[in-house]
């Protein structure tokens, strides 16, 4: 496993899935909240929702932070796997 390739692959994957998640939330917030409640064993997330317009700066900041974190996690994972497997 190449650390940089693994890091880029994980960073891109996390970024794409975050963007997809944000798109689904923007298009269907009600069903999305229901899905999240089912996913987390019936927790009610509706109290956390506050009506406000979509903010591109918040989306892009979160996308950058999550993708960067995933990149470094992927690099570390590949490096550690190589060290442990010899």
Q: Which long-range contacts (CB under 8 A, 24 or more apart) does 74-77 make?
A: 74/3, 74/6, 74/7, 74/8, 74/9, 74/10, 74/11, 75/3, 75/4, 75/6, 75/7, 76/3, 77/6, 77/10
User: What pLDDT is recorded for position 54?
Assistant: 82
Residue 38, token pair as written in the block: 């089912």
On whether the CB atoms of residues 24 and 32 are closer than 8 A, the answer is yes
Segment 15-67, tens digit of pLDDT: 999 999 999 988 988 898 889 899 999 888 888 787 788 889 999 999 999 99
């Amino acid at each position: 496993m190449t650390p940089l390739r693994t890091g880029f692959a994980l960073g891109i994957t996390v970024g794409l899935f975050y963007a997809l998640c944000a798109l689904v939330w923007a298009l269907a917030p009600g069903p999305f909240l229901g899905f999240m409640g089912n996913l987390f064993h019936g927790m009610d997330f509706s109290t956390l929702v506050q009506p406000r317009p979509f903010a591109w700066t918040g989306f892009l900041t979160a996308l950058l932070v999550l993708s960067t974190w995933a990149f470094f996690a992927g690099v570390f994972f590949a490096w550690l796997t190589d060290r442990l497997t010899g």
